[in-house]
Amino acid sequence: MSAYDVIVVGLGGMGSATAMHLATRGVRVLGLEKFGPAHDRGASHGGSRITRQSYFEGAEYVPLLLRAYELYDQLAVDSGRDVITLTGGLMIGRPETRTVAGSRASAEQWGLEHEILDAVEIRRRYPTLAPEPEEIALYEAKAGFVRPEATVAANLELAAKRGADLRFQEPMTSWEPAGDGVRVTTGRGTYTAGQLVIAPGPWAPELLADLGVPFSIERLVQFWFRPRGGVAPFLPDRHPIYIWEDVSGEQIYGFPAIDGPDGGAKIAYFRKGTPTTPDTLDTEVRPAEIAEMAAYCGKRLPNLPGEFRRGEPCMYSTTPDEHFVISRHPAHEAVTVACGFSGHGFKFVPVIGEIVADLATTGTTAHPIALFDPRRLTGAKP
């Protein structure tokens, strides 16, 4: 008999949620993490991530988002932690942009409450924003932000409380099939289980090379600026989250001031990264990067950039079509993979944990995940 039912490798956003869901079901879980709990070395840090339901990346995501919202609320209750805050959100751009048109299509298909605001109305409601006359916005009251570190910590605490064996500073060095299950080796020992979950974040190219998916790992920088005149107009009860697409297709995203009077307001490019690996990530934020963001956001938010407070790099693990990979491994029935979240995955953390727990225990899930089959990217037949 295996020592564990499931071994979860990687205890960031997706792995921590998976461990929590498995432990809640009474499954014997071993969690292995290369770093400490809720660390800042992967893709689950930076204080905030946008959450929204009118999803321009595809209407197929909406059912998963609705479930994720339910599970975030439950996680907040169970853990007592502040993991989700709804501030309202604006998807801004010209009507034909993906950000606006895609959000509107998802909202209309699923009957999500939303408003369409013209530039005059955007400026009236939010004087901190300066859209061009041709720009509009989809406003969604249920948009807001989730806190990645708090979410990971909450999932880890609940997983441990419910019986999961969580081990930190203990990365997997190898795994191999063993009978009907798997054998996992670390620097401290060897463990067996019926199933293995690999949730590697930006280590996907290294740990899942045999998957055949051409992941790209990119470095992007998150910036915090203290607005001119102070943070009052940017406080969460007065200011929404936003994603803003210009005529060239470039997107920025931003948040209210959620970290106190000196914390500033966070803003970043959505997809404007440079190739990296986790082991070669440049953690220095350079003056030229700060100046570029300051110049760009200053044209759109009159109170910014103000005073630069800090910058922090993060990593996107991106698939060629920017959709996720969530599946039983096509070549290994005892292995489930969750990776390639392409810069828009954290809002799904609770439901992905539920899905991966389903796959690891039953081999299937009631959630719609056909879009995330890795074989779409490798040419293999489903």
In which residue are the tokens 């697409």 written? 245
Cα 303 from Cα 117, distance rounded (Å): 21
Per-residue pLDDT reduced to its tens digit, 146-198: 999 999 999 999 999 999 999 999 999 999 999 999 999 999 999 999 999 99
| DSSP string for 128-173 | T----TT-EEEEETT-EEE-HHHHHHHHHHHHHHTT-EEE-S--EE
pLDDT of res. 2: 64
3-state SS, residue 125: helix
pLDDT of res. 345: 97
Averaged pLDDT, 83-106 = 98
Percent of the chain whose pLDDT exceeds 70: 99
Cα 16 from Cα 157, distance rounded (Å): 9
Per-residue pLDDT reduced to its tens digit, 19-43: 999 999 999 999 999 999 999 998 8
Averaged pLDDT, 333-354 = 97
How sure is the predictor about 382, in pLDDT bands with cuts at 50, 70 and 90?
low
How sure is the predictor about 1, in pLDDT bands with cuts at 50, 70 and 90?
very low
Q: Please report which helix (H) or strand (E) contains residue 22, including its range.
A: helix 13-24
pLDDT of 86 above 90: yes
Averaged pLDDT, 256-279 = 93
Cα 65 from Cα 55, distance rounded (Å): 9
Per-residue pLDDT reduced to its tens digit, 278-331: 999 999 999 999 999 999 999 999 999 999 999 999 999 999 999 999 999 999
Per-residue pLDDT reduced to its tens digit, 352-362: 999 999 999 99
Per-residue pLDDT reduced to its tens digit, 246-265: 999 999 999 999 998 889 99
Cα 339 from Cα 318, distance rounded (Å): 9
pLDDT of 380 above 80: no
